[in-house]
Amino acid sequence: MRRSIIYFHSTIWNQFFSDLLRYFQDNENAQVFIICDNLTKDLYDKNIALGAEPVIIPDFDIKETWEDDPDQVEDLIRFIRSCEDACGRSMGRIVLTGERTIGRALSIGFYYWPQNSYQKAYTEDNSKPESYTLRDLCRTC
């Protein structure tokens, strides 16, 4: 069975995870998706040369067409739930690990981070982290 890995770009850990992903690509024939933006995509040239697929982060302010189709939303949620069951990790852990960005509302009172428009949206509407994560993950399905 071919293993799939979805990696969310992290500047601080880039070199470590890039090497680790290359190991799995070379030795385990893993299919790798790297969620990043256009500015950081070049950091993964070696992974992309081995077949990793960059998944460019969408503009979260623009609603995706599938979001208006309840059947497509349900299909995506069902797929993500099956992934959660298979790996033993919930999508909520993605939110929790992003205390500076997508999980910002959970770290208020513990950290001070400069705020941008996305982070403001995360703290004003607690449904945004899930919808933004779904928009990101749907690109790997």
pTM: predicted TM-score of the whole model, two decimal places: 0.55
Distance in angstroms (rounded) separating the CA atoms of residues 38 and 110: 31
111-120, pLDDT tens digit by residue? 776 777 777 8
Identify the pLDDT of residue 75.
92
51-102, pLDDT tens digit by residue? 889 988 878 788 888 899 999 999 988 988 898 888 787 877 777 667 667 7
Identify the pLDDT of residue 99.
66
Distance in angstroms (rounded) separating the CA atoms of residues 140 and 124: 28
Identify the pLDDT of residue 71.
96
DSSP the chain: ---EEEEE--TTTHHHHHHHHHHHHHHH--EEEEEE-TTTGGGGHHHHHTT-EEEEPP-TTSPPGGGG-HHHHHHHHHHHHHHHHHHT--THHHHHH-TTTTTHHHHBTTB-----HHHHHHHH-TTHHHHHHHHHHGGG-
